[in-house]
Amino acid sequence: MPTKTTYTVAVLGLGAMGLPMATRLASELTVHGFDIAEPRLALAAEAGIIPFNSAAAAVEGVDAVLLAVRNGQQLRDVLFSENGIVSALSAGSVVIVTSTVGIDDVKAVAAQLAPRNIELVDAPLSGGPVRAGEGDLLIVVGASPAARETAQPVLGLLASTLTVLGDNAGDGQAFKTVNQLLCGIHIAAAAEALALAEKLGLDVETTLTTLSAGAAGSFMLANRGPRMLDAYAEGGAEVLSRLDIFVKDMGIVTSAARSVGLPTPIASAAEQLYLLGATQGKAADDDSAIITVLAPRNN
């Protein structure tokens, strides 16, 4: 593994996922960091990350740039807008995209970077901030062998499970689209099950524990279930994954399915549920709040 004197990565965006990823990387690599929020830069400096006052300055001379953006538009803005970083990137460096932004957006950005001899590493991930800080993420990758080799010091430190899906940008997004189809459906199904349990007069905590131990159990039921019970409390559940993330992700799922002529009736129904939650003002709530859309307590 390269040492801090031989490999440098810039992490742009030091939020809930960016900061623990940058901190993990700083344990062995030289890490440049940028965030528009000064308090996040201060926390980064305390963690051994070198703070910069602009994204362009942070990426100068680095081997890799790690981007955790919300959507395809943000990805294009970071790279190609008036204040974008593309002109500051060195030829031969790689841009590692860890977000779920969709197949088409990643392919288009990769094509724009290619003439500059900069490759895009399509590396969407699964796992939360704790797992990011421990290097315990699931990462799937679509990129050329050369780009994967350049990005390996970063990916190897962040992932406990690293799977190469193919040699092209978009291959990682394709897998993540399938992954998010299941995650979105499972969260919606868990909400329906727990809402039904309560309506039938069952103790929902006992129901959740028992369901999780049997054939009906799933990761999302066990993970989101307790937060669904908290969703009815004042202030709701702690926000660990915003509801509007699944508005975006299920939109990517259904759009991809339409592009290949595949009907997705269950995913489409789940998408509508997340959209309904967003229209009710729950976009910034934890996605476990979807249970309150199905079964509001004041009814």
Model pLDDT, residue 4: 52
Phi, psi of 93 (to 5 degrees): -85, 170
Let me know if 176 is a catalytic residue: yes
Residue 47 vs residues 106, 129, 145, 290: alpha-carbon distances, Å? 31, 15, 32, 35
How far apart CA 77 and CA 74 sit, in angstroms, is 5
* 36-241-244-228 Cα dihedral, nearest 10 degrees: -150
Per-residue pLDDT of the chain (299 residues; tens, 9 = 90+): 444 558 999 999 998 899 999 999 999 999 999 999 999 999 999 999 999 999 999 999 999 999 989 899 999 999 999 999 999 999 999 999 999 999 999 999 999 999 999 999 999 999 888 999 999 999 999 999 999 999 999 999 999 999 999 999 999 999 999 999 999 999 999 999 999 999 999 999 999 999 999 999 999 999 999 999 999 999 999 998 999 999 999 999 999 999 999 999 999 999 999 999 999 999 999 999 999 999 998 74
How far apart CA 253 and CA 25 sit, in angstroms, is 31
Sorted by where each starts, the structural domains of the chain and their CATH numbers stand as 8-168 (3.40.50.720), 174-294 (1.10.1040.10)
- Among the listed residues 176, 199, 248, 282, the single catalytic one is 176
The whole model's pTM is what? 0.91
